[in-house]
Amino acid sequence: MGLLIVRLVELLIVIVPLIGVFYAGAKAITKARNRSDDAPTDPALSAPSAPRQERTSKTAQWQAIQRAVREHDRTDTRWLDYELDISKLLDYPLMTDMRDPFTQRFHRAKLRADLHRPADPADLLADSEAARQYLDAVEEYVTAFDVAESEAFRRRRSDFSREEQQRLSRAHSALRIASDSAATPQEREKAFDVARRELDGLIVLPERTRTAIERGIAGELDA
How does pLDDT run across 9-64, given as a tens digit for each residue? 454 444 545 455 445 555 555 655 555 555 455 544 455 565 666 667 888 999 99
CA-CA distance, 1 to 5, in Å (whole number)?
6
Q: Which pLDDT belongs to residue 21?
A: 46
Q: What is the pLDDT of residues 150-209, one digit of tens each?
A: 999 999 989 889 999 999 999 999 998 998 888 888 999 999 999 999 998 888 888 888
pTM comes to 0.69
Given this model, what pLDDT does residue 179 score?
Answer: 86
Burial class (CB in 10 A: 0-12, 13-18, 19+), 217: buried
How many helical (H) and strand (E) elements, i.e. helices and strands, does the chain have? 8, 0
DSSP string for 5-17: HHHHHHHHHHHHH
| Mean pLDDT, rounded, for 83-108 | 90
Give me the mean pLDDT over the 123-152 stretch: 96
Cα–Cα distance, 175 to 93 (Å, whole number):
14
Q: Is 204 exposed, middle or buried (0-12, 13-18, 19+ CB in 10 A)?
A: middle
Q: Does the pLDDT value for residue 78 go beyond 80?
A: yes
